[in-house]
Amino acid sequence: MRPLLFLTAALAGTVGLTTVRAVEPVRFASGAGRVSLVELYTSEGCSSCPPAERWLGQLRDAPGLWRDFVPVAFHVDYWNRLGWPDRFSTRGFTERQSAVAAAWGTQSVYTPCFVRDGAEWRARAVPSPAAANGVKAGSLTVDYDGAILRADFVPTGGAPAAYELHAAVLGSGIVSKVTSGENRGEMLKHEFIALALTQGIPGRDLSLTVPNIVGVPRHALAVWVTRRGSHVPVQATGGWLD
């Protein structure tokens, strides 16, 4: 179990992190058909990113949200040097993007960058369910009470393998007024921003708190499993916490 709650600590002095936000216990389950993980690598300091974030925000009302796909926006920090420090960005998210890109055989990264199921994705269309193509990944079930998360994964066919569990608390309905940098004067709206990220092993309790951050009116949980050492999601699930 390796907690990576780096963003929770980073936000403490910048956006009014006070206490852990309480949530009612919830259970999310994927079913056997594969649920896609859609990642967006973005930054408030990138002038090309607002259209991509608006598109991601539209998925909030898509019928397939949480059932067919799970969206996560990771804010990277390499735009911060150009005059606007993105309060949601972390070095850890930048390193994650670099690792994903390296799996494609490239060392270059860019924003906005969409990734679907571990592969570069340029089609801005509501993701069709992977299960429609006959992809049966297995069942991922998650229980979460706002502090402890436990996830169990039963792969289709019960094939033995070593899996890693990844979980992120997401923030939605966020509004940021940018006063410098490439997006100076813009009022940016964000959905599905990763606020805290951790990883562990399916079948074991994992500590993950919902940070109470000023200006984050709604929260969600995204959970996915990968084979050990891989960035390619095998199965995903999630849902709203508020």
Look at residue 60 in the predicted model and tell me its pLDDT.
96
- Averaged pLDDT of the chain: 89
Say yes or no to pLDDT of 21 above 70: no
Contacts of residue 121, defined as CB under 8 A and 6 or more positions apart, other chains included, come to: 38, 114, 115
Tens-place pLDDT, residues 182-241: 999 999 999 999 999 999 999 999 999 998 899 999 999 999 999 999 999 999 999 999
Q: Find the mean pLDDT for residues 18-27.
A: 72
Ranges of each domain in the chain? 6-122+131-240
How much of the chain exceeds pLDDT 90, in percent?
Answer: 76
Look at residue 8 in the predicted model and tell me its pLDDT.
46
Written as six digits, the tokens of 30 are 């994927």
Distance separating alpha carbons of residues 236 and 118, to the nearest angstrom: 12
Burial class for 15, CB neighbours closer than 10 Å (0-12, 13-18, 19+): middle
Distance separating alpha carbons of residues 230 and 193, to the nearest angstrom: 22
Q: Is the distance from CB of 193 to CB of 145 less than 8 angstroms? A: no
Look at residue 124 in the predicted model and tell me its pLDDT.
79
Distance separating alpha carbons of residues 108 and 152, to the nearest angstrom: 35
Tens-place pLDDT, residues 59-91: 999 999 999 999 999 999 999 999 999 999 999
